[in-house]
């Protein structure tokens, strides 16, 4: 039993641990933040491996023309014929007659369609790797866990790809704003004086720029013949150029408070250049706070992309972002008859809440005095 006993934590470990190790130790104590981190990891992996996890392509190439605006198909083990060890769904068929006013409708039959793992599909690529198998499918036809839209495209496949696209836009936007914030905030805090005044005016200008009118003008500027990749890159760059002001001001405040510290004066006496002092001495002194700010800024980037795509100023079909999917839920016909269009809504809310809880947990973990204030 002694072999499985927990290793006692020595007092010396606390004083020899790095700042990131101390942050992780405090972060693990916050259950809500830890659960949110696992949920966030689940969503990120779902978006990255969406081509393999989704049974069909999210574009017109994977649509089911015989099941348009179809309800979700829930796998089951039992029906009127009895139970089965393998999950299945019931096959559907199109029908029209006098009772349907000679309109085509889709109805469920009593024939079983069993679910299979790793079925062969049309070739596709994931992370640059060519593949020809999906995670799951059915023996014949299609399976739609979240139903289909008006063109027969699988909403489950579209949702997984939309998560990846929205998180990718947020990642590119955060990286651009991160680099700008480090450079501009670090220079403003280190030099001060008129340089600080000019750069602070630039920060305030960026923070007060009205985004909706700006994007309306940019939407009119973007040519319709632009590809989905070009529109994705353009939206990511614009979000990054508009999102660095807050982080730059925080970095400027930290650098301004630390620029007269002893280790900075020692670096100056050694003839170190300002860029070396800022990047190698000042910024690493509050790395944990920068990481926290990056995580907190992620949901705002995702919200910005989703909001812009929702009002038609961001990404558009055939790109499958969360904002593009949410455009369909405003239609009256959807509200009354096709409620499964709302399935991406709670997923989007869960992603934003996961970022918020992880950001709050990291913020408290990065502050060594947070526990003493409670």
Give the pTM.
0.81
pLDDT digits (tens, 9 = 90+) for 187-240: 898 888 899 899 999 888 888 888 778 777 777 777 777 776 677 778 788 888
Chain segment 122-147, per-residue pLDDT in tens: 899 898 889 999 999 998 889 999 98
pLDDT, residue 5, reads: 45
CB 260 within 8 A of CB 193: no
62/158 Cα distance (integer angstroms): 10
112 or 330: which carries more pLDDT confidence?
Answer: 112
pLDDT digits (tens, 9 = 90+) for 338-369: 888 999 889 988 998 998 888 888 878 876 65
**SS3 category, 72:** coil
pLDDT of residue 159 exceeding 90: yes
**In sequence order, which residues have a C-beta less than 8 Å from that of residue 62 and are 6 or more positions away?**
56, 153, 154, 157
List, in order of start, the domains of the chain with CATH numbers.
61-152 (no CATH), 158-373 (1.10.3720.10)
Q: What percent of the chain has pLDDT over 90?
A: 17
**Token digits of residue 366:** 């990065």
């Amino acid at each position: 039993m002694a072999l499985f006993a927990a290793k006692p934590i020595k007092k010396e470990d606390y004083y020899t641990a790095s700042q990131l190790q101390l942050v992780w130790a405090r972060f693990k104590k916050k259950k809500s933040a830890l659960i949110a981190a696992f949920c966030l990891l689940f969503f990120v992996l779902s978006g990255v491996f969406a081509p393999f996890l989704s049974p069909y392509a999210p574009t017109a190439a994977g649509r089911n023309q015989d099941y348009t605006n179809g309800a979700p198909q829930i796998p089951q083990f039992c029906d009127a014929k009895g139970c089965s060890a393998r999950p299945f769904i019931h096959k559907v068929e199109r029908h029209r007659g006098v009772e349907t006013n000679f309109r085509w409708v889709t109805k469920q039959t009593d024939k079983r369609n069993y679910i299979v793992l790793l079925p062969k599909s049309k070739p596709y690529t994931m992370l640059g790797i060519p593949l020809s198998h999906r995670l799951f499918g059915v023996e014949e036809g299609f399976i739609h866990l979240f139903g289909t839209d008006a063109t027969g495209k699988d909403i489950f496949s579209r949702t997984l790809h939309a998560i990846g696209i929205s998180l990718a836009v947020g990642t590119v936007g955060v990286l651009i704003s991160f680099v700008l914030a480090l450079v501009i905030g670090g220079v403003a805090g280190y030099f001060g004086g008129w340089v600080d005044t000019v750069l602070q005016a630039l920060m305030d200008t960026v923070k007060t720029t009205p985004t909706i009118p700006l994007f309306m003008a940019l939407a009119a500027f973007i040519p319709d013949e632009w590809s989905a990749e070009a529109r994705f890159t353009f939206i990511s760059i614009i979000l990054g150029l508009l999102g660095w002001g807050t982080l730059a001001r925080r970095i400027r405040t930290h650098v301004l408070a630390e620029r007269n510290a002893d280790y900075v004066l020692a670096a100056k006496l050694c003839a170190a250049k300002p860029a070396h002092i800022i990047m190698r001495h000042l910024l690493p002194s509050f790395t944990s706070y920068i990481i926290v700010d990056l995580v907190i800024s992620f949901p705002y980037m995702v919200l910005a992309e989703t909001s812009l795509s929702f009002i038609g100023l961001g990404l558009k079909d055939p790109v499958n972002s969360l904002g593009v999917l949410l455009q369909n839920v405003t239609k009256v016909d959807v509200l009354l008859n096709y409620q499964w269009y709302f399935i991406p809504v709670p997923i989007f809310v869960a992603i934003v809440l996961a970022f918020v809880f992880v950001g709050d947990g990291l913020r408290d973990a990065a502050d060594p005095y947070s526990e003493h204030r409670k």
